[in-house]
Each structure stands twice: as structure tokens, then as C-alpha cells.
Amino acid sequence: MRADDYFANRIDYLALGDSFSSGEGETSDAYYLGGTNDIYEKCHVSSRSYPFLIARQLSISPNFMKSVACSGAETKDVVGLDDGYNGQGDRLGLSDINFTSSDMVLAKYQAINDFIPGRIHQEDFVDKYQPKAITVGLGGNDAGFMDVLQTCLMPGTCEAAGTLQGREKMALEVQGVYGKLVDTYKKIHVDSPNSKIYAIGYPQIINPDGMCLGTASFLDSTERQFVYEGIRYLNRVVAAAAKAAGVKYVDIENSYGQNVICGLDALTAVNLIRLGDDIIDPFKDVPFVNMVTGNVIGNESFHPTPVGHQLDALSIANSVPNILTDDYCGNGMVVCPDDSVVAPEPSLYWLPDGKHNYMLQKITKLLGAGGGVRGITAAEIVNIALGSQSLQPGSLVSVAIHSNPIALGEFTVAGDGSVSVNITIPDGLEDGYHTIHLYGTSYSGEAIDLYQVVAYKKPRPVVSQPLTQPQPPVQPAVDNQDNTKAKPDSVAVVVAAKTEPKVVTYQEPLVHSAVLGEQSGPLNQLSVINSPVAPDAKDVKVEADINGYLIACAVVVVIALVMIFVTKVL
């Protein structure tokens, strides 16, 4: 017997990766798929991200194309052992959720069947569905580059960009991602031997020599060059890893042209600083204070806008007209490894006078599990915890918070190589991003600098609640004859091709998931034109839902930005 709407397990195209593939940076939350923008699950998969645009260009039915990319993903979230893995950032194991073992099994089972990203390894979808083509956009989070970039928004030149030691340690951390990427590509091939695999690079997001206005001016010339060179070197590492593993590298580094931060064109493909709610807010439970002190910088900052994803899709289509049929090995094989390839060396920008004997640097969740950037506040007691065999047993470690280093204590590593200590966050830090460092000796004996980027807020006075509570908004009436959401209009897509553009019209189904929360929204008209020129600004509709909350936040943000700008200029 066959149920209505049943179709066999078949996926033609599956997208894997991190925030640059998921669609983090979407300008309207309505386009994040259900279950990817909830309190515990913020993979931020947008229906306007480049994987969906590629599928539409190739007329791949939405039933046979999925994206399980997840904002913040590292290689360990794409491939790895399932035992003990409770989702990206340990989201299913958080104490707030308090899942039982049976709850955990059900949540993971639901994820694999309903394509809910972030709960299981991304390769599990590859193994089950054996897609014809796979794109993988990965590497920036393993290197910590994206987190470090946020610290450059603080007054003064950030440590990673402004010192020779900071740049060298960052470069070597990026170089260290090479082996992880090679192993990831190879494991994906083992999971699905007949799948074509494409390693997608990263787009440049800033013009280091351009004119910077507004919030872009928070990045000085040294920091802008650091961002540019960081993406450039990261792409070299991704390309080398793809060649070593024998998969196709797709270069999209220059896909945005001058539609970047500090670029010469008006139509921007990249967000500047965006308001967001993804950082853990120390004041979230204080009445009415959060409305005034709400998180200033969201994860969408410095990520591609829908325009950027259109340009990404265009660049990919020009490089690989059809990801389902491209013969990139030239012999019909889907992998063609090159054992002679090694990790590329950093350029003179990173090592102007050669390598030094600095500590190995590695981004680490020092403050426990969780996704995104951890929020902290003055006088807060936080626990730094590392598992067994993390550091050399009995050795001393010191903890400090930067950029102006403040020592937070010195401790002894336990006999099994683990660490669990409490530290007190000092007062007097600037609001914004800082870095907690743990300096010690690795389990194998090397000097190591483990760090985590955190967001700091000064305590605000508590504002008492008014005597009269505001009434909840009136819910719109629901038609009892049809309680489903309205179906979106047909979507017209101009397809990038070597021949004349053609228009493909189809009905896009809504996406629903039974998850911890649910959200879905219609698609608007998208166009990807076979031209090196960016789409005209009037063709891109950016929807905004401005209410009193955002207006209040905007006022505070404008004041804060002006103060930071003046501080930085002085």
C-alpha cells in the first residue's frame, strides 16, 4: 500500500557546511526554515541561500534537494562518531532541555527523517540518502577566524590583526584546518561513494582599500587587511584540501566584486553590524531591561545577504554549470586524490620574518557547551572545563581575559588531564567582544593557547515593572475550514545558463518541522542573472518588520555606535 504524497528516499542535491552555506545573514527571519531559528536551534537555514538557488537553477524539485548546513558548524559537526554526540553545541544535552535518553533517541530519529540540522552529524544525512551531488562549505569555524573577527569591532586594533604574534598564531591555526578538511571530504566520499562532492570556498566580504562609512569604520585599515588576507589564506587551505582528497574546489572568492563592506558599489552583498538575539543575554530575565540592553551584534553580522547568495549561486553556476553531471576528474570518477598536495604555507603578510616558537593557538569551548558566542557580565562566576587528556596532568595553567590582558588565576591540571575551575569575570571591561585565554601544556607536551570569544555587558540598573501589564496582541482570526497557512505565490527564477536565460515557474511548498519551535514563511521572487554585474538593487526586496522593540533598540544602538566610533577615532 502506498500513502498519498509518499516518495522513496531520494536526494539529488544535499548542502552541508557552516553559516556561509546555511544562509546566516538573512535580512528577514521569515525565510529561515522551520526549526532553524528557535531558542535552542539556530542553524539559520534560509530558503534564499545559494544551495536553494542552485537547485532552482537546475530545476531540482524541493522534494529532492535539502540543506542541513548549520551556522557555527565545524568539521566535527559534519563527520564524527555518533556515540556521545548530542548535536552541535551539545544542544540536545543542555540542562535547560533535560532530555531523557528516549527523548534523545526520538529527537535524533526525527532529525534524520525530517532534515532538521544541528542535532546529528551532517554526514548521517549523506549516509542515509546517498545524494547525487553534495556541496560542502566549511573551515572558518575550525580556525576560529569568524569568532576572532568580532573582537576587531572593539576600540583600537584587535590583537589578532595588530601584532606579529597574533597574525602568526592565527595563520598557523588556519593552516591546521587542512588535515581536518581532507579527512572530512574523504569520509563523506566513504559514506556515499557515488556522490559528486564540491568544496565551496568563502567570498571576500571587505575591500581593504575602500572608503568605509558608518559601522564599517569600526574596522581600521589594519583590521580590514587582516579580514581580507584571512579569507584569502583560508581559501588556499580549502582548495589544497579539496585537491588532496580528490573533490572539486569551487572558487567564489571574488563573486561579490565591489558589493562588499567598504566597497565602491551601493548594492551590498554583506551585512554590516546587525542587531541579533543569538548571544546568551545575562539580563534576559530582568524585567524590561533586555528591551534597552538587547544584544547589539547578531550572528548575521558580516555574513552574506540574499544578494550575496545570489552572487554566490551565479559564481558557482559559471564555474560548474551542472553539479549533477560535471566530470571534474575527467575520467568519470567522482574522486581523484592527489597525494602530493600538502598544506599551503602562510604568505609574508602572516610571517614577514619566518616562524617563531609561539604557543599553538586553538579555539575551544572553555565555558562549556553551547552554540554561538557566550555572554558574560561583571562579577559573574563562570566555570572553565576541559575533559580528560586535554592537558598535561599536574601542569600549571593560567587564565586571562584580553585584549588588555587581565589575569584571572593560575590552576593545576587534574591527574587525568582535565580542568574544572571557577573564575570571576572582572569589572571595568568595555561592552563588546573579548577573549578568554587558557595558557598551558597540551597532553602531548606542547605549549598551547586555548581561547574562546565572549560578549561582555556592564550591569544595568533594574527597571521595575509597571503596575499595569501590557495586554497580549490580538491573534488573527483563523478560518475553521482551512487552518493552514496561506500558500506562497509561484516563484519566477531566471536561470543562469550558457545560453539565453529561461524562466522556471513552480509552486514552492512551505517547510514545516515538528521541533522545539516552528517558523515558516513564503519565498519572494529571486533572480540570478548570467552576468558579472550584480542584480539591480530594485530587484531585491528586503522585508522588515519594525516594531517598538526594534525602534527602542535602534536608538540605544545608534548612541552606542557613535560613542564607540568617537572612541576609536580618538
Q: What is the CATH number of the domain that holds 435?
A: 2.60.40.730
Query: Among 93-97, 288-292, 379-383, 548-552, which stretch is predicted with the lowest mean pLDDT?
Result: 288-292
The answer to whether residue 533 scores a pLDDT higher than 50 is no
Name residue 567's amino acid. T
> Does residue 334 sit within a domain?
yes
Question: Is 178 domain-assigned?
Answer: yes
Residue 290 reports pLDDT greater than 50: no
What is the CB neighbour count within 10 angstroms for residue 2? 6
Whether 309 and 393 map to the same domain: the answer is: no
Give me the number of domains the chain comprises: 2
The verdict on residue 566 lying in a domain is no
My answer on whether 328 and 415 are in the same domain is no
Question: Per residue in 195-218, pLDDT tens?
Answer: 999 999 999 999 999 888 776 778
> CA-to-CA distance for 392 and 271, rounded, in angstroms?
42
Distance CA 96, CA 40 (A): 9
Query: Is 545 part of a structural domain of the chain?
Result: no
Residues 258 and 401 in one domain: no
191/164 Cα distance (integer angstroms): 42
Higher-pLDDT residue of 155, 513: 155
Burial category of 77 from C-beta neighbours within 10 Å (exposed 0-12, middle 13-18, buried 19 and up): buried
Q: What would you report as the CA-atom Rg of the chain, rounded to the nearest whole angstrom?
A: 24
- Same domain as 315, residue 199: yes
Residues 368, 222 share a domain: no
Residue 563, domain member (yes or no) = no
**Residue 2 pLDDT > 90, yes or no?**
no
* Residue 236 maps to a domain: yes
400/447 same-domain check:
yes
Per-residue model confidence as pLDDT tens digits over 317-372? 999 999 999 999 999 999 999 999 999 999 999 999 999 988 899 988 888 766 66
C-alpha distances out from residue 99 to 95, 119, 120, Å: 8, 13, 15
- Which of 457, 486, 520 is a domain's end point? 457
pLDDT of residue 119: 96
Average pLDDT (478-490) is 39
In angstroms, rounded to a whole number, what is the distance separating the alpha carbons of residues 126 and 120? 12
Cα distance between residue 405 and residue 395, in whole Å: 22
**What backbone torsions phi and psi does residue 434 show, to the nearest 5 degrees?**
-135, 175
Tell me, yes or no, whether 340 and 374 share the same domain.
no
Q: What is the pLDDT of residue 376?
A: 87
- Separation between Cα atoms, residue 63 and residue 91, nearest integer Å: 27
pLDDT greater than 50 at residue 132: yes
In a domain, 553, yes or no: no
How far, in Å, CA of 187 to CA of 459, rounded? 47
Do residues 411 and 344 both lie within one domain? no
CA distance 550 to 291: 9
**pLDDT (mean) for 11-37:** 95
* Domain membership flag for residue 70: yes
pLDDT at position 29 over 70: yes
DSSP states of 432-449 as a string?
Answer: EEEEEEEEEEBTTS-EEE
Range of the domain at 384: 360-457
From CA 545, how far away is CA 342, in angstroms rounded?
49
What span, in angstroms and rounded, lies between the C-alpha atoms of 328 and 333? 8
Same domain, yes or no: 84 and 138: yes
DSSP letter, residue 567: H
Statement to judge: residues 274 and 385 lie in one domain: no
pLDDT band at residue 18 under the 50/70/90 scheme: very high
Spatial separation of the C-alpha atoms in residues 506 and 143, rounded to whole Å: 40
Q: Are 455 and 402 in contact (CB under 8 A)?
A: no
Cα 372 from Cα 355, distance rounded (Å): 32
249 and 271 belong to one structural domain: yes
Domain of residue 233, CATH code: 3.40.50.1110
Which among 457, 473, 508 is the end of a domain?
A: 457
Task: Give 395-445 pLDDT, tens digit per residue.
Answer: 999 999 997 889 999 999 999 999 999 999 998 888 888 999 999 999 999
Domain boundary among 436, 457, 478: 457
How many helices and strands, by DSSP H and E, does the chain display?
14, 16
Q: Are residues 328 and 368 in the same domain?
A: no
What's the start-to-end Cα distance of the chain, in Å?
A: 74
Distance CA 115, CA 35 (A): 10
Spatial CA neighbour of 169 closest among 230, 221, 223, 228: 230
Which cell is 97 given? 532541555
Residue 144 has, within 13 A of its CA and on its CB side, a CA count of 24
More confident residue, 548 or 291: 548
Q: Scan for cell 602572516, then name that residue.
A: 350
